[in-house]
C-alpha cells in the first residue's frame, strides 16, 4: 500500500539570533531547525556551552511534522515563567522542527513572574519575526526526458507555467529535467505536459521532497 503524502507544515527559515533588553537584563534568543529531539538537544548543548557564563539558558522545541514532540525547560527561572511561554510562542505560530534557546544575562532588576513570561515570550516572538517563517510543502518529483534540441524550450515553458524545475542533467542521450509538483496537481500537470510537448514528453515519478515558500500568514 502506498504511503500517504506528507502534509504541509511551517518552520523557521533557518538558524538565527535576536536580542532584546528588559530592565537591563539581556535576553538572547537563538533559533535553529531540528527534525528530531536529538538534533534539538545537540543545538541546546552547543548554546549552553557558548553562553556558559549566563545565569539562565532556557529552552523550548517542537519537532516532527506528523507526530509532534514538545519539550521546555526553565533552567532555574521560576517554574512556568520561561520555557513554557517560549513553547507557547512556537505553538501559537504553528511551528515545528524548531528549537529556541533564550540566554539571560541578569541586569540587577527583578522582573517578577509576569515580567519574565513577557520577556521570554517576547524574545522568541521577535526572533521568529527576524528569522522568518516558511511553509514546507510536499511535492512529487517527476523526471522528464527531452532531446538536446528540445530541452531548453521545454525548460523555459515549465518555468513560465510556474512549475518548480529542481534539476537539469545533461547526458549523452538527452536532458533529464526534474520537476516538483504538488500531488493534488499531478493530473493537471500531466495534461499540461502532453499539450506543451505535443505528446512527445513523459514525466516519470522519481521520489518526493519539499518546496519551501515564504509564509506571511
Residues 62-86: tens digit of each pLDDT: 999 888 999 999 999 999 999 999 9
**What is the model's pLDDT at position 116?**
98
CATH architecture for segment(s) 9-131: 2-Layer Sandwich (3.30)
Tens digits of per-residue pLDDT, 111-129? 999 999 999 999 999 999 9
3 state SS of 42:
helix
pLDDT in tens, 148-159: 888 889 999 999
Domain ranges of the chain: 9-131, 135-214
pLDDT at 198: 87
C-alpha 199/C-alpha 177 separation (Å) is 16
Cell 504511503, residue? 3
Q: For the residues of 160-213, what is the DSSP string, one character each?
A: HTT-EEEEEEEETTEEEEEEEE-GGGHHHHHHHHHHHTTT---EEEEEEEEEEE
Which of 112, 110, 128 shows the shortest CA–CA distance to 20? 128
Q: Which CATH class is domain 135-214?
A: alpha beta
**How many C-beta atoms lie closer than 10 Å to residue 41's C-beta?**
15
Amino acid at each position: 500500500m502506498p504511503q500517504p503524502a506528507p502534509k504541509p507544515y511551517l518552520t523557521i527559515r533557518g538558524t538565527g539570533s535576536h536580542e532584546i533588553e528588559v530592565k537591563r537584563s539581556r535576553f538572547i534568543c537563538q533559533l535553529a531547525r531540528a527534525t528530531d529531539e536529538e538534533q534539538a538537544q545537540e543545538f541546546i548543548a552547543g548554546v549552553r556551552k557558548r553562553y556558559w557564563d549566563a545565569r539562565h539558558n532556557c529552552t523550548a522545541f517542537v519537532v516532527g511534522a506528523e507526530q509532534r514532540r514538545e519539550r521546555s525547560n526553565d533552567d532555574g527561572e521560576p517554574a512556568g515563567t520561561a520555557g513554557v511561554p517560549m513553547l507557547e510562542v512556537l505553538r501559537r505560530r504553528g511551528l515545528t522542527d524548531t528549537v529556541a534557546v533564550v540566554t539571560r544575562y541578569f541586569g540587577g532588576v527583578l522582573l517578577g513572574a509576569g515580567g519574565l513570561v513577557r520577556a521570554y515570550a517576547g524574545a522568541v516572538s521577535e526572533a521568529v519575526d527576524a528569522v522568518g517563517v516558511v511553509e514546507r510543502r510536499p511535492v512529487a518529483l517527476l523526471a522528464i526526458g527531452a532531446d538536446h534540441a528540445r530541452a531548453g524550450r521545454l525548460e523555459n515553458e515549465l518555468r513560465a507555467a510556474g512549475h518548480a524545475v529542481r534539476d537539469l542533467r545533461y547526458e549523452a542521450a538527452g536532458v533529464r529535467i526534474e520537476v516538483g509538483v504538488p500531488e493534488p496537481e499531478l493530473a493537471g500537470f500531466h495534461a499540461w505536459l502532453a499539450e506543451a510537448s505535443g505528446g512527445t514528453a513523459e514525466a516519470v515519478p522519481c521520489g518526493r521532497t519539499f518546496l519551501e515558500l515564504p509564509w506571511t500568514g
